[in-house]
Amino acid sequence: MTDKPIIVLFRNDLRISDNKALAAAADSGRPVIPLFILDETGADARPRGAASRWWLHHSLTALGAAVEKLGNRLVLQTGATGKVIAEAIKASGADTVLWNRRYDPAGMAVDAALKSHLRDEGFEAESFDGFLLHEPSRVATQSGDFYKVFTPFHKRLTADGEPRDPVDAPRQLARCDSMPGSERLDALGLLPKPDWAGGLSGRWKPGEAGALERLEIFLEERLNGYAQGRDRPGEDATSGLSPHLAHGEITPFRIMAALRRRRSQGAETFVKEVSWREFCYHLLFHKPALHRENFRPEFDTFAWRNAPAALKAWQRGQTGYPIVDAGMRELWQTGYMHNRVRMIAASFLIKDLLIDWRQGETWFWDTLVDADAANNPANWQWVAGSGADAAPYFRIFNPVLQGEKFDPQGSYVRHWVPELATLPDRFIHRPWEAPAAVLGDSRLDLGSDYPRPIVDHARARERAMAAYRATRGDD
Ligand code: FAD
């Protein structure tokens, strides 16, 4: 037995409950060094986007406060993980390093090297589950291949039975006498300058307490209507848990345990969505370049357009298609976009504008508070048709019909595109068809207050189909 300190690493697991690495350290009764390292040194690491950095700042504030309540202090460091840990070991005399596993390719490579290096040097190094319900390396088809289709993947996960119960938060964390020095949170430079994050602060409460609150609200108020409501962007019908999951402020184990007591159609649909997240990580595990490379190589020769003005109009929510613009403005202002609208906006970029899905994926990566190494590229490839189990390329969303179907009274559009707020329902998704008198009554000067469509959808659709046929060699 030893009473040497234990270092517990925090990365995308910014919580104290259902944190197996932290629980193991606390249970040992030994001094604990909770350590967060901002490691932006890896050549392969994908730097966090701006919205995710904003979230991280606030999540670390919350985690720091929670750790203090346990009688300890969160140490913040920047630099290469291995080097920072070596210095922390030297300063503290720690002989054990514990962490919860992460599943982005660069992070996994760092952790694998770290584990073998520490063990070679005679230290203890152990990792735990928490971020995913199933280890991607252990899920395989009967022939030993990886799953490329969601439904059998989901069935296979379900056959594994109920996931484990979440573990409790420690009651205290013994402090180490020789704690390594910490950098100040502000010095990590995570907040945007100038500060454009007002809309993000208005909508979100980063941190574990915010995550648990969201889960509670979802279970009490939204779960029953989730199956029907989840496609309605004008309603608060989904959980809003994605940024909390992305930063590990809550685990899927906690979510699954809470759902277990509430069997319903809503719960079944929700479990499937959580399973999609697992599927995206399964794909990323087997295709680590998922954000750079088409899953289906036949898309490698696709004739994408270089169209900077159109890309900018899309990014700024100025395409002239109200549902697309509402989504892009929601994203810009709050770091989030409703799932249905993500699909519509992504389809518009890829198919109506014929712009490479990677450009959209990059924009989302920078602007989403839930920017996720697996979910983002996997979903972009799903929309593009280049992904596994993807929507076929020729299924091209009509942004007007999608708007009318899922936002029938236009409440979502009216909120995010206020210049259209007074248009009657009939024209809210097609303002260019409104007669002059209607536009006059609504005090809308089309082309000045709000753009006319930057492409004609019907023609853009033909163009997209032709490009697709050419890629397949049908022409
Ligand atoms: P809920 O409907 O409450 O779903 C619960 C949870 O299930 C989500 O928090 C999420 O973890 C998971 N989930 C739901 N839908 C999906 C899905 N299609 N794929 C994978 N997991 C899912 N999600 C991200 O977390 N990060 C991203 O970077 C991301 N990028 C996307 C890009 C595009 C083009 C599209 C179409 C979807 C993307 N998604 C992404 C998936 C989905 O839009 C969000 O997870 C969802 O909108 C988050 O809101 P919510 O938590 O209220 O979802």
For the residues 123-136, what does the mean pLDDT come to?
97
What is the percent of the chain with per-residue pLDDT over 70, rounded to a whole number?
A: 99
Q: What does the alpha-carbon distance between residue 1 and residue 410 come to, in Å, rounded to a whole number?
A: 66
Same domain, 427 and 460: yes
Identify the active-site residue in 224, 276, 293, 432: 276
Of 53, 113, 126, give the one whose Cα is nearest residue 83: 113
State pLDDT tens for residues 226-260: 999 999 999 999 999 999 999 999 999 999 999 99
Q: Give the count of domains, the chain.
A: 3
What burial letters (b/e) apply to 125-152, b meaning 16+ CB within 10 Å? bbbbbbbbbbebeebeeeeeebbbebee
Domain limit, last residue, from 81, 105, 130: 130
Q: How confident is the model at residue 474 (pLDDT cuts 50, 70, 90)?
A: low
Note if 357 is an active site residue. yes
Q: What does the alpha-carbon distance between residue 105 and residue 291 come to, in Å, rounded to a whole number?
A: 11
Domain limit, last residue, from 262, 288, 314: 288
- Compute, in angstroms, the gap from residue 174 CA to the centroid of ligand 1: 38
373 lines ligand 1 (CB under 6 A): no
pLDDT at 323 over 70: yes
342 lines ligand 1 (CB under 6 A): yes
For the residues 382-395, what does the mean pLDDT come to?
88
Q: For residue 13, give its domain range.
A: 6-130
Supply the CATH number for residue 96's domain.
3.40.50.620
Same domain, 408 and 421: yes
Q: What does the alpha-carbon distance between residue 67 and residue 16 come to, in Å, rounded to a whole number?
A: 8
Instruction: Measure Cα distances from 347 to 50, 222, 354, 398, 424 in Å.
Output: 24, 28, 9, 9, 26
Supply the CATH number for residue 445's domain.
1.10.579.10
Residue whose entry in the numeric block shows the structure tokens 């990886």:
146
Instruction: Measure Cα distances from 11 to 189, 207, 379 in Å.
Output: 17, 13, 24
Note if 339 is an active site residue. yes
> For 108-114, which contacts have Cβ atoms below 8 Å and span 24 or more sequence positions?
109/42, 109/44, 110/39, 110/42, 110/81, 110/82, 113/82, 114/81, 114/82, 114/85
273 lines ligand 1 (CB under 6 A): yes
State pLDDT tens for residues 416-453: 999 999 999 999 999 999 999 999 999 999 999 999 99
pLDDT at 111 over 80: yes
Domain contains 186:
no
pLDDT at 475 over 80: no
372 lines ligand 1 (CB under 6 A): yes
Enter the pTM of the model: 0.97
Nearest CA to ligand 1 atom 37: 379
Domain contains 265:
yes
Look at residue 194 in the predicted model and tell me its pLDDT.
86
